[in-house]
């Protein structure tokens, strides 16, 4: 048996994640992923009005708010049998697209880029050479003058000299796994700051049709409530902000990924992990029929075989608790529609038979699945989705590599960037459709319906981090059972009853560490999934009703 190392908590993610690894000769031989706070939303939703579920469940997370709201209203609409108006479809698509345009650049620049960019090394850069590099990467890149980069470098120098690195503290600066030259590091730090400024701009896009961000207010079972915002001024403002976001994606984000990738092409063979990929699909087209009209396709891929995309059968989804801190009334995996949430904490037991996580273990037809941007891009690519094929092929051709590199940590990171452009380009079409409807006098945004005494349904969509599903059972007009199966539950869950690892654990196996005491390589792969433990697990004091907050240095 090798040495055990524990990284707890994994920082620069949403929530609390513990990774334990077993290392022999600096190579990871085994891994265990533990979500360390209890999930409780399914419990306190019981007995509530189904129409309130969407506004409660989006509080699961301060980042993934819109997507939980959407999955929830879709679950109730599926149970009741509601067909929403076309304007509601378009507005929901635009709000969802805005979520992606906000989430993916934030992840790359502020959560994940620091795994590839040595911030302190930027102090050694020549601002003039950095300017020349930026112009070479993309002539339209902002802040391309030597003076601009010198300003950024001086700001960074003040941070370092004051011993107050702020968000850059506790990094493994100088680690041998960092390969970018100082000029590339300085360019990346500059774009880090640019992306910070862009965050607030894109957040405004949510507020135009969603009233606020986070936690939008305008979804409702049956459609949306923002009919008053269907004006030329509001639509024009949304389009203006979209153009601003597209400019950053095309001239900064995509070029940065392409510029960084050649220094880390060895990571095209690291962190691949599972060979199965699942996407629920999202963004319905005219008529709203699912899955046929979905812009992002619904399907799954087995054993990395891109020649076949299999159709998804919702009934084949189960959750296992063999290694999770729950008890089921029967010793077998359960479909979420019949799911149970009975917490049973036993301590962290990372052995063959122990329980070690608050995350349940989802499976599709018994298969462990990776979900997220890579899964979506693979399903779209294998399905012949025009925009995806065009943009993926462009990146692969530019880097001089084949599709096989996608099955990796580097591929996961590149897929997220490609997806951002695919979504941004599609949003122009939805804006045009919305304008045409309004010009024709169509202002319908919500359908009439009657809440039944009993019904059951599910809502499936794609959060930026992957496949998201909500299941609801209604009895006596109230919620009798409610279950959420979220992306990080798929990716970050413990082994199932058959001993199969999930994506986080499997992706770490075989990774070589330069220094096990500074496991930068572990962070690279785990961050490439963009974990959200807030969605997967939650903590609440059932007696006092208080939540606990922990500050980690």
Q: For the chain, which residues score pLDDT lower than 70?
A: 39, 142-143, 164-167, 169-170, 535-553
Helices then strands, each counted (H, E), the chain = 16, 12
Cβ neighbour number for residue 197 with a 10 Å cutoff: 9
Residues in Cβ contact with 408 at an 8 Å cutoff, skipping those fewer than 6 apart: 267, 268, 269, 270, 271, 272
DSSP letter at 407 equals S
Stated length of the chain? 553
In a domain, 336, yes or no: yes
Residues in Cβ contact with 415 at an 8 Å cutoff, skipping those fewer than 6 apart: 373, 374, 376, 377, 378, 392, 406
In a domain, 208, yes or no: yes
Reference 176, options 409, 515, 413, 509; nearest CA is 515
Rounded to whole angstroms, the Cα distance separating 550 from 543 reads 20
Count of structural domains, the chain: 1
The SS3 assignment for 296 reads strand
Residue-averaged pLDDT of the chain: 93
Edge to edge, the sheet with strand 478-485 lists 454-463, 466-475, 478-485
Reference 452, options 50, 132, 29; nearest CA is 50
CA atoms lying within 13 Å on the CB side of residue 10: 35
In a domain, 544, yes or no: no
The residue range of the domain holding 54 is 3-536
**Cis? peptide before 175, omega within 30° of 0:** no
Angle formed by the axes of helices 146-161 and 127-137, nearest 10°: 120
In a domain, 546, yes or no: no
Q: For the CA atoms of the chain, what is the radius of gyration?
A: 23
CA atoms lying within 13 Å on the CB side of residue 162: 11
Question: What is the pLDDT, as a whole number, of residue 60?
Answer: 85
In a domain, 545, yes or no: no
In a domain, 548, yes or no: no
Question: What is the pLDDT, as a whole number, of residue 24?
Answer: 97
Give ∠ CA 86-91-94 in degrees, rounded to 5: 130
What single string gives the DSSP state of each residue in 198-260? HHHHHHHHHHHHHSSSSS-S-EETTEES-GGG-SHHHHHHHHHHHHHHHHHIIIIIHHHHHHH
Reference 401, options 266, 526, 287, 496; nearest CA is 266
Give ∠ CA 496-379-465 in degrees, rounded to 5: 60
CATH (domain of 86): 1.10.645.10
Contact 10, 551 (CB under 8 A): no
Place of tokens 């819109």: 66
Reference 403, options 296, 305, 257; nearest CA is 305
CA atoms lying within 13 Å on the CB side of residue 12: 26
Residues in Cβ contact with 158 at an 8 Å cutoff, skipping those fewer than 6 apart: none
In a domain, 542, yes or no: no
Question: What is the pLDDT, as a whole number, of residue 56?
Answer: 93
Angle formed by the axes of helices 373-382 and 386-399, nearest 10°: 110
What single string gives the DSSP state of each residue in 447-505? ------SEEEEEEEEEETTEEEEEEEEEETTEEEEEEEE-HHHHHH----TT----HHH
Rounded to whole angstroms, the Cα distance separating 511 from 341 reads 35
Question: What is the pLDDT, as a whole number, of residue 167?
Answer: 66
In a domain, 272, yes or no: yes
Question: What is the pLDDT, as a whole number, of residue 553?
Answer: 35
pTM metric for this prediction: 0.94
The helix, strand and coil proportions of the chain, stated in percent and rounded to the nearest 5, come to 45, 15, 40
């Amino acid at each position: 048996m090798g040495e055990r190392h524990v990284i707890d908590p994994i920082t620069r993610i949403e929530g609390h994640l513990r990774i334990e690894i077993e290392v022999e000769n600096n190579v990871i031989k085994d891994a265990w992923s533990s979500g360390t706070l209890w999930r409780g939303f399914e419990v306190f939703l019981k007995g509530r009005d189904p129409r309130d579920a969407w506004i409660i469940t989006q509080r699961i997370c301060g980042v993934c708010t819109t997507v939980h709201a959407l999955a929830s209203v879709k679950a109730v609409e599926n149970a009741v049998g509601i067909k929403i108006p076309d304007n509601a479809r378009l507005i929901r698509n635009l709000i969802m697209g805005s979520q992606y345009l906000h989430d993916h650049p934030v992840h790359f620049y502020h959560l994940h880029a620091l795994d590839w960019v040595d911030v302190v090394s930027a102090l050694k850069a020549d601002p003039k050479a950095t300017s020349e590099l930026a112009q070479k990467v993309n002539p339209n890149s902002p802040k391309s003058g030597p003076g601009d980069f010198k300003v950024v470098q001086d700001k960074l120098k003040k941070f370092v000299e004051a011993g107050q690195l702020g968000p850059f503290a506790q990094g493994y600066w100088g680690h041998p796994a960092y390969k970018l030259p100082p000029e590339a590091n300085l360019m990346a730090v500059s774009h880090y700051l640019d992306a910070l400024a862009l965050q607030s701009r894109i957040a405004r896009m949510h507020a135009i049709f969603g009233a606020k961000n986070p936690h939008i207010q305008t979804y409702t079972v049956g459609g949306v409530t923002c009919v008053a915002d269907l004006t030329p001024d509001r639509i024009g403002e949304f389009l203006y902000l979209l153009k601003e976001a597209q400019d950053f994606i095309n001239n900064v984000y995509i070029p940065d990924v392409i510029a960084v990738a050649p220094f880390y092409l060895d990571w095209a063979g690291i962190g691949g992990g599972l060979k199965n990929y699942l996407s629920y699909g999202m963004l319905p087209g005219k008529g709203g029929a699912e899955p046929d009209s979905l812009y992002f396709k619904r399907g799954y891929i087995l054993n990395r075989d891109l020649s076949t995309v299999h159709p998804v059968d919702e009934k084949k989804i189960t959750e296992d608790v063999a290694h999770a801190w729950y008890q089921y009334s029967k010793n077998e995996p359960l479909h979420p529609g019949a799911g149970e949430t009975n917490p049973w904490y036993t301590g962290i037991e990372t052995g063959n038979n122990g329980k070690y996580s608050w995350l349940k273990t989802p499976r599709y037809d018994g298969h462990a699945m990776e979900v997220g941007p890579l899964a979506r891009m693979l399903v779209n690519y294998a399905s012949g989705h025009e925009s995806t094929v065009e943009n993926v092929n462009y990146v692969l051709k530019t880097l001089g590599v084949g599709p096989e590199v996608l099955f990796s940590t580097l591929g996961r990171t590149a897929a997220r960037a490609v997806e951002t452009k695919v979504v941004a380009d599609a949003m122009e079409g939805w804006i045009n459709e919305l304008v045409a409807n309004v010009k024709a006098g169509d202002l319908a945004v919500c359908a009439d319906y009657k809440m039944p005494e009993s019904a059951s349904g599910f809502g499936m969509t794609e959060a930026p981090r992957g496949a998201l599903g909500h299941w609801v059972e209604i009895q006596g007009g109230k919620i009798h059972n409610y279950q959420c199966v979220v992306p990080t539950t798929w990716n970050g869950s413990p082994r199932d009853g058959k001993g199969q690892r999930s994506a986080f654990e499997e992706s770490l196996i075989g990774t070589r560490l330069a220094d096990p005491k500074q496991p930068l390589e572990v962070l690279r792969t785990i961050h490439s999934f963009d974990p959200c433990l807030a969605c997967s697990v939650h903590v609440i004091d059932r007696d006092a009703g208080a939540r606990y907050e922990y500050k980690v240095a």
